[in-house]
Structure 1
Amino acid sequence: MNDIDQPLPPDELGHRLSEVFDLVGPLYRRATRKVEQAEPVEGVSAGVRAVLNLLRQNGPMTVPQMGRAQALSRQFVQRMVNDAAARGWVETVPNPAHQRSSLIRLTEEGRSTIAHVLGREHHLMRQVGGGLTDADVRTCVRVLTEMVRTFDHVDVD
């Protein structure tokens, strides 16, 4: 193993991960803008998109569960749920486990909407160049997963 394959000392790791962190926000905002510009008529904001995709991945959830999963305030998630509900993309259903905290679930229109948005995102992501390999992407996912896991203890509410 050469030096490039050895774990970095904490101080150096911190500096290198700051480079990654400094790219994540601008990348997310640019990608979101590109997707939204592709079809602005649909009107799916980044926040609503996050709610729809979370429900697509996990099935019905409460607003507090969604907030915890996305490290967002319950109030922000509630606003996004309200926006999605106004468009007919989600609906509220009784929660057998908790009377006062209803479950939010996708409607068929919501499923179709998030599938369409993800399709546009996939089309955008296909345009990424650089000859990236599966190993490159696996490493990137591993790094970002570790960063998310590290900051999971931060309570937004």
Structure 2
Amino acid sequence: MADEMALLVADVFEAAGLLRRSGEGLAAAEGQTQARWQLLSVVSDRSLTVPRAARRLGIARQGVQRVANDLVREGLAAFHPNPDHKGSPLLGLTPAGHATLQRITARATEAHRDMTTGISPQEIAAARDVLRRLVEQVRRHQDPDQAGRQIP
């Protein structure tokens, strides 16, 4: 089992790298980066503070702040007052940001269709189920107190 796990880890890293490069290409076609695409997506449904967006993305707040500032400068996002915390404004998308996200998402949907030709939706769902279970096992192994908690 340990050898199979090592091979799975290698396969996941390979897939992640390929998907990351593919995502960069999809975002670049709209003049964006994958980091900007991810942040646009995270704040697309509701405005969030930069620290909360960073937690959802699982990356450092400072990096998210830089990307947020870039999106604001480009007119794709805007900071709004936060009634719960005056020092931590909410980041939300502008109409231009929603339009950009929609175009990138449409490109990604088409790319995903092409990438999964010959793989059934049931196979994708089964792979996702195994990966989610594995993620939960890894979380339990790393920090038993955090297992089962979802990042809001």
State the TM-score bracket (shorter-chain normalisation). Answer: 0.7 to 0.9
Q: Which residue matches 2:19? A: 28
The equivalent of 1:61 in structure 2 is 48
SS in 2 for 1:68: helix
Is 1:88–2:79 an aligned residue pair? no
Q: 2:8 is aligned with what amino acid?
A: L
Matched, 1:101 2:92: no
User: For the structure 1 residues 143 and 86, does the alpha-carbon distance in structure 2 shift closer, same or farther, using more than 3 Å as the test?
Assistant: farther
Aligned-residue CA RMSD (Å): 2.3
Q: Which residue of structure 2 aligns with residue 17 of structure 1?
A: 8
The letter of the residue matching 2:12 is: F
**How many residues matched?**
141
How far the C-alpha of 1:115 sits from its partner, in A, is 0.3
Q: Which residue of 1 aligns with 2:115?
A: 128
For residues 42 and 131 of structure 2, what CA distance do their matches in structure 1 show?
18
C-alpha distance in 2 between matches for 1:148 and 1:82: 32
Structure 1, unpaired ranges of 5+? 1-8
Q: TM-score, normalised by structure 2?
A: 0.80
Shift of 1:98: 1.2
| C-alpha separation in 1, matches of 2:93 and 2:72 | 9
> Using CA pairs below 8 Å that are at least 6 residues apart, which structure has the higher relative contact order?
1
TM-score in terms of structure 1 length: 0.78
Is the CA contact 2:26–2:107 (under 8 Å) kept in the aligned structure 1? Answer: yes
For 1:75, the equivalent position in structure 2 comes to 62
Q: Secondary structure at the match of 1:97?
A: coil
User: Where does structure 2 lack aligned partners over 5 or more consecutive residues?
Assistant: 144-152
Percentage of identical aligned residues: 25
